[in-house]
Structure 1
Amino acid sequence: MKNFQKQYLTALFLALSFITSAQQKISLDDDWRFQFGHAANPDKDFDYGNKLLFHKSNVFETTVVNPKFIDTTWRKINVPHDWVVELPFVKSTTHEMDTHGYKPVGSAYPETSIGWYRKHFSIDKKDANKRFELQFDGIYRNATIWINGFYVGTNFSGYVGNSFDVTDYMNFESDNVLVVRVDATQAEGWFYEGAGIYRHVWLNVTNKFHIPQDGIFVHSEVQGKNASVTIETTLQNNNLITTNGTVYNLITDRNGKILVQTSEHKINLGIRKNITIKQKMKLTNARLWSVDDPYLYKVITVVKSGNHIVHQAQTRFGIKTVRFDANEGFFLNGKHLKIQGTNNHQDHAGIGSALPDYLQYYRIKLLKELGSNAYRASHNAPTPELLEACDSLGMLVIDEQRLLNSSPEYIDQFQRLIKRDRNHASVFLWSIGNEEQNIQGNDYGKKIAQTLLAIQKELDPTRTSTYAADMANEFKGVNEVIPIRGFNYREYAVADYHRDHPNQPLLGTEMGSTVTTRGIYEKDEIRAYVPDQDITHPWWASKAETWWKLAAENDYWLGGFVWTGFDYRGEPTPYKWPNISSHFGIMDVCGFPKNIYYYYQSWWTDKDVLHISPHWNWPEKTGQPIEVWVNSNADEIELFLNGKTVGKKVMPRNSHLKWQVNYEPGTLEAIGYKKGKKITSKVETTGTPYKVVLNTDKSILTANGKDATVFNVSIVDDKGREVPVADNRVLFALSGDAKIIGVGNGDPSSHEPDKCAEGAWQRSAFNGKCQVILLAGKTPGTVTLEAKSNGLFTASATIQIQ
């Protein structure tokens, strides 16, 4: 009987694998047309505001929403698309401009703050009886949407996506025309946000008896070595008659092997009604998801009507336990884990906010190599692919609401956020907001927090929430009701707060904020650079060593999140123009490590870390003292200059070592001993730039027009050593079906374009490095990238598109 059941389940699963007609998720990313409108002049905004668009349905005269409107002269683009990263830098004294990276978008720049998008697509007549839904994963911001001349809806948020049922408006005889007006005149944050349809767009085609968007919630309870898994499936009947059907679920391992199945639950659902069905399954010897073993199961949900499968969905999920203890700290699967987190905005060098999916994985991988185990999405809903990367690679996530607000709009955003993300194994904590100084400490904040916490518990009773408060030892407002007290800075007050409120777990939601410029070792107010060591921080923050020593050495600290993992556009600190980017990152906007990277890596990992800074190219300082820093987790270290000892020192835990060394060209070497094991590191005086070197993160890309890779570029001397002061301009040429989509170098004061004209891609190295981001085409074959610089040997690298 058991063998028969196994064969039956296997056959069933194979049958499900071949079902393609039950529903489709069609990408609408390609072949859009784009044109700027105008925020202050309707005549330049395609008469938006002059013509009547809302007085009757499908009355659009000769306006831009008319399907017959001629858009052939508009620019051809694919989404994701961020139009702001393409704009030039503009010097301005307005606060809005400096916080957003001196890009001309916002109320002062009406001619580049409205974007119109149009897309034509067709649908097969055989699907005429299906349900059609438009899904926008993210538009920045305030987007108004029409299809075939019908107003569909408005999505106010720049970060939380939305879906719209457009079944009644579909055209099966000719093109469907989708029109989106994006209004970025108002900012949501005080950092670079970009603008446009910067995440994916989908057309979901389903039966009218179906699972609605985010209609599945999978959660589990660990019971010894086993787990009880609950699947809550919402079904919706959009038919105009009562519909009968069944729903059941399968759980498979990561390879697709069926482990367990529920029985079929019968349903009788009225016209335009919803119902939620709870089904439970037992998993024996459950493999738990963790940051070191991010194991994911799959739930296959099957909906049938009239003995036909009408909807099938796959949900990846992980099984884990979390515990927040006010005195002992954080526990994942029963094991103590200090949270070693970073805060991050979503932009990257060269591409702004419109990241190919691969870049999400690339950035999380870099953070994992640093030793980070947690990511705070600051301060907004992340893109779904970021969470998928965190699920797959093993990175805990704080998922954050944009505003502490309980109006219908923001409640709707919060509900959509939770329902969208609650199946992600990586999400271990919700955040209901960040630094609302006007209300966080009063009764308004308390009442709003209580409302949001109640919504969170209703939609996801398996998790809890924090709030990022820039408050010291103050128990008022939000702090009175928030389950996990979040501290933004004020690390000096954590001990007192714990003393006074010993039953409330404490988390450093923003910590550190050392400002550094990669490869720079002197303060430079002209170019707006700060030294690349843990010495400079804003008045509200602290150095890395200050906060991490407290967090590492006190169990009541759950841990904390550094501000930030990566540099990001906007919020320049401590300078303004020409500085157009932050200096906060442990890595720069390209993901190149700064020296502070090695401080954190020393104490966040068990790797053998021994890093010397600064570089050793100082011809103008011969005979003068140079302050040498060593970041390491070795027990003791001896420093040598050209073979002569400079001294031996014991490494204080969670700290670093310093020597004063009179400069002479040659080799500066450190020898350390870690539990008796010898580890070494050195920096050398290099020669002059000799050639360009290309290194790619991966050499095989999928021929889907969406896969991407990063090429990191180095300038080296004739012995292959990177020249740490090189600033050579590098020109790039590409052959094969791929395209360059962005360039960068990590210079927070660079005004070079991130986007170049085709055939004119170039970027200057900044302290020896720059970066190119490549997007695959759809034709299999060989792609060659060539990088050349005047007077240097050229580099070339080949990748395969398959």
Structure 2
Amino acid sequence: MPHVFTGFKLAALLVLLSFTRGQAQSTEKLMLSGTGNDKTVKWQFYCTAGRNSGKWTTIPVPSNWELQGFGKYNYGHEKDTARGKEKGLYKYQFKVPAKWRGKAVNIVFDGSMSDTEVKINGQSAGLIHQGSYYRFKYDISKLLKYGKTNLLEATVAKHSANESVNDAERRGDFWLFGGIFRPVFLEALPAAHISRVALDAKADGSFKADVYTGGTAADEVVGQLYTLDGQKVGGEFRSPITAGNAAMRLQTTLATPKLWTAETPNRYRVAMTLRKGGQPVHTVNQRFGFRTVELREREGFYVNGTKIKFKGVNRHSFWPTSGRTTSKALSIMDVNLMKDMNMNAVRMSHYPPDDHFLEACDSLGLFVLDEVAGWHANYDTPTGTKLTEEMVVKDETHPSIVVWVNGNEGGHNFDLDPVLDRLDLQKRPVVHAWQVFRGTDTQHYINFDYGNGTHLQGHNVVFPTEFLHGLYDGGHGAGLQDYWEQMWAHPLSAGGFLWDFSDAGVVRTDRKGRSTPTATTAPMASWGRTARRRAATSPSRKYGRRYF
């Protein structure tokens, strides 16, 4: 029998308290899956082909099904004829509180590989979602049985029916997996609610936010800033709600705020409250940091008026025994290891990461390049536009994100650049990895003496978003001091990003647990994997300060 969620003892109900007059309704969050590879929930599962296929059994969610003994292992460079094109059928029964009747209830998937069709109680929740690494949601308010048992069914196709998705995500130099690999949850909002908060907090203390609302009409949106320990800073600021506007603009100024940088990751919290007739209706809390990011033409990157150079590394969302399903603990460990190696930046190669990784970068201090997927090929414009919007809406408030990347190594859809420009209230720089674009030169794996008289003596701000490949250039340590001294000395250099942080090899469940490396495994990459293992048991985590 499928598991029935009862009593709500296992539910994670996230209550966001109002700090305004009265008590606003909260956004309630009810987990349907676990939160990561260290906490999962069993769902019913049926794999259509490959190992353990053709029968109903169970699978932990979130997970990649290959690492759980199902389907077929595939690498991105394999021919299409050799690829596993199995599907996974999921079922899960759950209850929702009767008091949720009349609320706006969404089902939210943080990541599913790849095409995902969702049904609630036998009825379609909406169009099939195509694209693996992006948060998507459906309003299922009218499909639920309140106070009763509901049935969730999800069909996940490992190989997308959209060839541009396969080109952008599934034909790269990395392992291919299938499955619901990030959390799934319900969120319940009041009928009149705040649906999105976009904000821009500058180093001079100026703060502005665009607040998007949904449902029935309310009168105004009111904001209040707090320190993270709950102390008010400044007074309330507000905006009336006017018909026909997609978003309400709120503004205030905070004198001498503590600024966010990779060295001093100071943060604040803003509470946005929707009011009607003077009474609070819905409150959303969001953490943020005051900081100003600038790309100055023919000069470099500046954060809070200070020129910076990226001492960066590329990172896949990956763990050997669970594939792309990770955890908050692993994210914190990875960020600490990067900082222990004297790094100040990380590139999300080649897709948006888990939320908890960005939260670790916010709180511990790393500059982040967040990326629309694309590996030598790109999403078509309608698909790419939708996925880019999903990425920005989920990630836009993180102060750690200082640059958007539109695709990797030729996987750039130029139609998506205006989408990033339009959506991002902070107007962060947009780059194309491996390309000269908008005053930046991010070419990959350049020789040390490349382009004498051009390049670093040219007109663009130079920072290779990949250099010193862990295999092809002899390992990360080979010549790094020469590269870094050159980067430090030249005013046009903004640093660079090593490839890559750690080995992305898997512990094969089809080969008695034998570890299988990627095509790009290298001594430094293997060292990174070993350091990650040590970090789990060592209190010091001091392994790599020699690298930068």
Fold shared per TM-score above 0.5: yes
Find runs of 4+ consecutive structure 1 residues off by over 6 angstroms. Answer: 530-533
Equivalent in the alignment of 2:152: 178
Q: Distance between the aligned counterparts of 1:372 and 1:415, measured in 2?
A: 29
How far apart are the structure 2 equivalents of 1:206 and 1:578?
A: 45
Q: 1:557 aligns with which of 463, 469, 493?
A: 493
Paired residues of 1:106 and 1:113 also in contact (CA < 8 A): no
Residue 27 of structure 1 corresponds to 31
State the partner residue of 2:432: 467
Mapped partners of 1:467, 1:584: distance in 2: 26
Matches within 5 A, 1:642-653: none
* Distance across 2 between alignment mates of 1:148 and 1:267: 36
The residue number in structure 2 matching 1:373 is 344
Deviation of 1:484 (Å): 2.3
Q: How has the CA–CA distance of structure 1 residues 169 and 589 changed in structure 2, closer, same or farther, with 3 Å as cutoff? A: farther
> Structure 1 CA distance, aligned partners of 2:125 and 2:245?
22
Deviations 1:98-149 (A, max 9, x none): 557x9xx986465x83222211111122221111001111111111111111
Amino acid at match of 2:344: N
Does residue 544 of structure 2 align to residue 588 of structure 1? no
- The separation in 2 between residues aligned to 1:36 and 1:585, in whole angstroms, is 39
Instruction: Tell me how far 1:712 sits from its aligned partner.
Output: 6.8
Alignment of 1:125 with 2:129, yes or no, is no
* Structure 1: distance between partners of 2:441 and 2:360: 27
Give the 3-state SS of the residue equivalent to 2:332 in structure 1: helix
Q: Which one is further off, 300-309 or 170-179?
A: 300-309
Amino acid paired to 2:331: Q
The counterpart of 2:48, out of the listed 7, 30, 38, is 38
Q: Which residue of 1 aligns with 2:422?
A: 458
From the superposition, tell whether residues 177 and 330 of structure 1 become closer, same or farther in structure 2 (CA, over 3 Å). same
Shift in Å, 1:332:
2.2
2:19 to 1, 13, 16: 13
Matched letter for residue 429 of structure 2 = T
Q: Structure 1 residue 511: deviation in Å? A: 0.5
CA distance in 2, matches of 1:128, 1:33: 25
State the match for 1:482 in structure 2.
438
Q: 1:22 to 1:306 in 2, by over 3 A?
A: farther
1:236 and 1:275 in contact (8 A); partners too: no
> Which residue number in structure 1 is paired with residue 209 of structure 2?
231
* Equivalent AA in structure 2 for residue 219 of structure 1: D
Structure 1 segments unaligned to the other structure (5+ residues): 1-10, 47-72, 91-95, 438-444, 472-478, 517-529, 536-542, 571-576, 595-694, 698-709, 714-802
2: distance between equivalents of 1:150 and 1:88? 27
CA displacement, residues 567-626 of structure 1 (integer Å, 9 cap, x when unaligned): 1137xxxxxx995234247453864249xxxxxxxxxxxxxxxxxxxxxxxxxxxxxxxx
Deviation track 1:240-279 (CA, whole Å, cap 9, x = no partner) reads xxx233211111112111112334433355xxx7631101
How far apart are the structure 2 equivalents of 1:309 and 1:129? 17
AA aligned to 2:213 is: L
Contact 2:240–2:248, Cα closer than 8 Å, also in 1? no
1:613-647 CA distance string (max 9 Å, x none): xxxxxxxxxxxxxxxxxxxxxxxxxxxxxxxxxxx
Summarize the alignment of residues 370-769 of structure 1 with structure 2, pairs less than 5 Å apart. Answer: 370-403=341-374, 404-405=378-379, 407-436=381-410, 448-449=413-414, 451-460=415-424, 461-469=426-434, 479=436, 481-491=437-447, 492-493=449-450, 495-498=452-455, 501-502=458-459, 504-515=460-471, 534=477, 543-545=479-481, 547-569=483-505, 580-581=517-518, 582-584=520-522, 586-588=524-526, 591-593=529-531, 710-711=536-537
State the aligned residue count: 492
Query: For 1:127 and 1:302, how far apart are their aligned partners in 2?
Result: 20
Deviations 1:175-231 (A, max 9, x none): 11111111113552420243211111120101121112xx101102333xxx11001
How much has 1:485 moved relative to structure 2? 2.3
| Greater radius of gyration (CA) | 1
Query: Residue 82 of structure 1 contacts residue 354 of structure 1 at CA under 8 Å; is this kept in 2?
Result: yes
The superposition leaves residues 12-67 of structure 1 with CA deviations (integer Å, 9 ceiling, x where unpaired) of 72867x75x43202222144423233269xxx779xxxxxxxxxxxxxxxxxxxxx
The answer to whether the 8 Å contact 2:208/2:250 transfers is: yes
Residue 324 (structure 1) shift: 3.1
Aligned equivalents of 1:490 and 1:532: distance in 2? 15
Cα distance between partner residues in 2 of 1:389 and 1:106: 37
Q: Which residue of 2 aligns with 1:219?
A: 200
User: Helix, strand or coil: the match of 1:510?
Assistant: coil
Q: Would the aligned equivalents of 1:235 and 1:274 in 2 still touch at CA under 8 Å?
A: no
> 1:124, 1:12 → 2: CA distance?
22
Q: Which residue of 2 aligns with 1:197?
A: 180
Letter in 2 for 1:553: A
Change (3 A) 1:247 1:326: closer
- For each residue in 1:546-580, what CA deviation from the matched residue of structure 2 results, as whole angstroms up to 9, or x when unmatched? 5334323322110000000111137xxxxxx9952
Cα separation, 2, equivalents of 1:533 and 1:507:
16
Query: How far apart are residue 233 of structure 1 and its match?
Result: 0.3
Q: Is the 8 A contact 1:292 1:394 kept in 2?
A: yes
User: Identity, % of aligned pairs?
Assistant: 22
Q: Distance in 1 between matches of 2:393 and 2:451?
A: 33
Secondary structure at the counterpart of residue 19 of structure 2: helix
Report the secondary structure of 1:418's partner residue. helix
**Aligned with residue 150 of structure 1, among 113, 118, 123:** 123
Secondary structure at the counterpart of residue 156 of structure 1: coil
Partner of 2:10: none
TM-score after normalising by structure 1? 0.57
Structure 2, unmatched stretches of 5+, are 1-16, 35-40, 161-165, 507-513, 540-548
Letter of the 1:184 counterpart: K
Shift in alpha-carbon separation, 1:333–1:350, aligned structure 2, 3 A: same
> CA separation in 1, counterparts of 2:71 and 2:480?
31
Residues 248 and 261 in structure 1, CA contact (< 8 A), matched pair in contact too: no
Query: What are the Cα deviations for residues 50-102 of structure 1, in whole angstroms up to 9, with x where unaligned?
Result: xxxxxxxxxxxxxxxxxxxxxxx62152x221222234998xxxxx94557x9
Contact 1:326 1:506 in 2 (8 A): no
Distance 2:450 2:399 in 1: 32
CA–CA distance in structure 2, aligned partners of residues 562 and 586 of structure 1: 11
Residues 468 and 487 of structure 1 are in contact (CA less than 8 Å); yes or no, is this contact kept in structure 2? yes
Q: 1:588 to 1:145 in 2, by over 3 A?
A: same
Pairwise CA distance, 1:363: 0.6
Q: CA deviation at 1:544?
A: 3.3
Distance 1:514 1:12, change over 3 A: closer
Output the amino acid matched with 1:401: V
| CA shift for structure 1 position 281 | 0.8
Q: Which structure is richer in relative contact order (CA contacts within 8 A, separation 6 or more)?
A: 2
Give the root-mean-square deviation of aligned CA atoms. 3.3
Residues 407 and 98 of structure 1: CA distance in aligned 2, closer, same or farther (over 3 Å): closer
Structure 2 residue identity aligned to 1:453: D
Letter in 2 for 1:559: G
Partners of 2:144 and 2:408 lie apart in 1 by 41
Distance 1:499 1:86 in 2: 48
Secondary structure of 2:131's aligned partner? coil
Normalising by structure 2, we get a TM-score of: 0.81
Deviation, structure 1 residue 333:
2.0
The offset of 1:514, in angstroms, is 3.2
Distance (whole Å) between structure 1 residues aligned to residue 407 and residue 522 of structure 2: 21
Contact kept? 1:262, 1:280, Cα under 8 Å: no
Question: Counterpart of 1:81?
Answer: 63
Structure-1 separation of matches of 2:98 and 2:405: 45
